[in-house]
Amino acid sequence: MSRHRVVYLPGDGIGPEVAAAAREVVDASGMEIDWVDQEMGLVAFEKCGDALPREVIDAITECGVALKGPTTTPIGRGHVSANVRLRKELELFANVRPVKTVPGLETSHGPIDLVIVRENTESLYAGLENEVAPGVVTSIKVITDRASRRIARFAFEYAQRWGRKTVTAVHKANIMKKADGLFLRCAQEEAAKVEGKVAFNDVLVDALCMHLVTRPSRYDVLLLENLYGDIVSDLAAGLIGGLGLAPGGNYGEKGAVFEAIHGSAPDIAGKGIANPIAMILSAAMMCHHLGDPGRYRRIRRGVAAVTRERKDALTPDLGGTGTTASLTKAIIEEVQRQPLEV
Ligand code: NAI
């Protein structure tokens, strides 16, 4: 098996705690990785005045893959989000967030198994904000044919690769007739090209939110522009038990960056109680991306064995009394017990 070089970005707040846990689990799974340590986020900003130093972009471009902890972005002031910049710089246009009921942690929302495919480079995240007059601010939503088609094609390809049946485009084209109208039209046109292979439908984003809470099993792959994708991901994570359980990966032509949905959680940073599962499952996605589905399954099964049978190890967000360290240790033990199917 070949060794891989992966850029390691611990991030801010709980980032270093959960990213280190994920790195340990990947190493324990038998995946052979040479980690390339770099820093981005507030930690980098405070050291060198740039939250996304050039070396980070260069290292990811060279290695092709990164494992990233969450980074802090000041609210309503301060530096531009390093995440937004990273996704733009590397054209990480597709953000994939699988949301699946965790064995042993079933919630009242019933079995959930959906995948959020979020466009990662435009919409209101274009950062085009302007104070046109005192007390009047505009924020421009950018939707392009090129990016909408690209993410739609990605969603249909993803659906076919992973044996998914239906892609649902999410929009508000009744109100934003031009912007969301374009996004929807591109999805419809790309859907026509895979007719008979993947089913397609669409839903208004507000109706989707209600359906997700009342009957989430009706959805399979959700295709969303940037802002809706961000918001709906947190909602969906809540349905399976919280942000500590939902992983993610950002994919583009120049590389892929794997990170949990959640942020740097300053309210619990440094307390040793952050749930590392979302980061560990993100790392499992990374193993799959690196061409090792065996390690992907091994890590997922190890996590499932803990959530099913070792409630004592779970962190407080899952109702347990464990710590990041005890949960990571239990997961490593269970991962190493899983047979490796190649
Ligand atoms: P957050 O996701 O950091 O936290 C929301 C709530 O969920 C908090 O109560 C937190 O304690 C809890 N939580 C999150 N992850 C958890 C985990 N692994 N285990 C246990 N509890 C967990 O969102 P918030 O507070 O809105 O944002 C904090 C910072 O994170 C902000 O600066 C924001 O910009 C940044 N952020 C960064 C992201 C990234 O780097 N990809 C994504 C989202 C937010």
Residue 1's pLDDT is what? 58
- Catalytic residue status for 317: no
Average pLDDT, integer, range 194-219: 97
Entry pTM = 0.96
- 71: Cβ below 6 Å to ligand 1? yes
- 263: Cβ below 6 Å to ligand 1? yes
pLDDT at 100 exceeding the cut of 80: yes
- Model pLDDT for residues 143-157, shown as the tens digit of each residue: 999 999 999 999 999
pLDDT at 34 exceeding the cut of 80: yes
Is there a contact between 26 and 283 (Cβ–Cβ < 8 Å)? Answer: yes
Buried b (16+ CB within 10 A) or exposed e, 291-320: ebebbbbbbbbbbbbbbeebeebbbebbeb
Q: What is the largest CA-CA distance in the chain?
A: 64
Average pLDDT, integer, range 306-323: 96
Nearest Cα to Cα of residue 298 among 235, 342, 244? 342
Nearest Cα to Cα of residue 230 among 261, 273, 263? 261
- Reported as a pLDDT band with limits 50, 70 and 90, residue 267 is very high
Nearest Cα to Cα of residue 234 among 33, 90, 70, 3? 70
Atom of ligand 1 nearest to the CA of 259: 41
Q: How far is the CA of 237 from the centre of ligand 1 (A)?
A: 12
- Reported as a pLDDT band with limits 50, 70 and 90, residue 274 is very high
For ligand 1, atom 13, name the residue with the nearest CA: 265
Q: Which of 230, 251, 292, 296 is catalytic?
A: 230
Q: What share of the chain has pLDDT > 90, as a percent?
A: 93
Indicate the CATH number for domain 1-92+244-342: 3.40.718.10
**Backbone phi, psi, residue 51, to 5°:** -75, -15
Same fold, 1-92+244-342 and 108-239: yes
- 73: Cβ below 6 Å to ligand 1? yes
- Model pLDDT for residues 65-81, shown as the tens digit of each residue: 999 999 999 888 888 88
Domain borders along the chain are: 1-92+244-342, 108-239
Identify the bridge partners of residue 251 per DSSP, sorted by sequence position. Answer: 94, 256
- Catalytic residue status for 206: yes
- Model pLDDT for residues 168-181, shown as the tens digit of each residue: 999 999 999 999 99
Residue 78's pLDDT is what? 81
Is there a contact between 124 and 139 (Cβ–Cβ < 8 Å)? Answer: yes
Is there a contact between 56 and 83 (Cβ–Cβ < 8 Å)? Answer: no
Residues 6 or more apart from 302 whose CB is under 8 A from it? 25, 29, 331, 332, 334, 335, 336, 337, 338
For ligand 1, atom 1, name the residue with the nearest CA: 263
pLDDT at 126 exceeding the cut of 90: no
Average pLDDT, integer, range 322-330: 98
Give domain 108-239's CATH superfamily.
Isopropylmalate Dehydrogenase (3.40.718.10)
